[in-house]
Amino acid sequence: MYTFCLAGELIIQFTTRQTNILEIIQSTGPITGNQIAEKLQLSRAALRSDLAILTMSGLVGGKPKVGYFFTGQNMQNLKTTIFNTILVADVYSRSIVVAENSSVYDAIVTLFMDDVGTIFVVSANNVLEGAISRKDLLKAAMGSKNNHEMPVSIIMTRMPNIVLTTPEESVLTAAQKLLHHQVDALPVVKMIKVGDQTTFEVIGRFTKTNITRLFVQLAEK
């Protein structure tokens, strides 16, 4: 079975034979039904329903006297659909945060205990104030003997310089932000507006691991 699955929702499911036919059409099309049957050592009649399903899927086109051909355009649409329809909400992890007045030492302990690479720094009500990466902590640890006393607020990258994402954003856009800004993680936030003031509540984290997991899930399905 070859299945395109989208955020848990079934889109198209092909049998192994249909997948083989699709691959033959993709690599050698336009190709006639008889030629496909020959390659698969099957009768033309045995392929009729498979070819009908592939044609209906839109991935394969058929023209009399020409044969079957692969409609790359539709594949492109499918890819675009997959990447634009899967949202950060479908893949993000729980947030790992420390308070602004936590020490560098505490942040290092959190990094190990929660097995993360980036920690977000928050004030009351989980409001985002900053981010600390592994290297920020390494640098601080190398440069100071007083990690128990030094607050993370001194070493963090602070708002408004934090690159954010939201549950509603597509995974593709969030992944592009990771690459473009050369960071390992984005805080997943909910915007809170009180009067003129806008703050961001941290509700999760979006990381390279989320993308890797999604990639493997899509490939395995």
Contact residues: ligand ADP, CB under 6 A:
118, 131-136, 157, 161-163, 182-186
Nearer to ligand ADP, 39 or 181 (CB): 181
Q: Shortest Cβ distance from residue 167 to ligand ADP (Å)?
A: 16
Nearer to ligand ADP, 57 or 165 (CB): 165
Q: CA-to-CA distance for 197 and 110, rounded, in angstroms?
A: 30
Q: Shortest Cβ distance from residue 218 to ligand ADP (Å)?
A: 24
Q: Shortest Cβ distance from residue 181 to ligand ADP (Å)?
A: 6
Nearer to ligand ADP, 60 or 116 (CB): 116
Nearer to ligand ADP, 20 or 157 (CB): 157
Q: Shortest Cβ distance from residue 210 to ligand ADP (Å)?
A: 13
Nearer to ligand ADP, 60 or 183 (CB): 183
Q: Shortest Cβ distance from residue 131 to ligand ADP (Å)?
A: 4
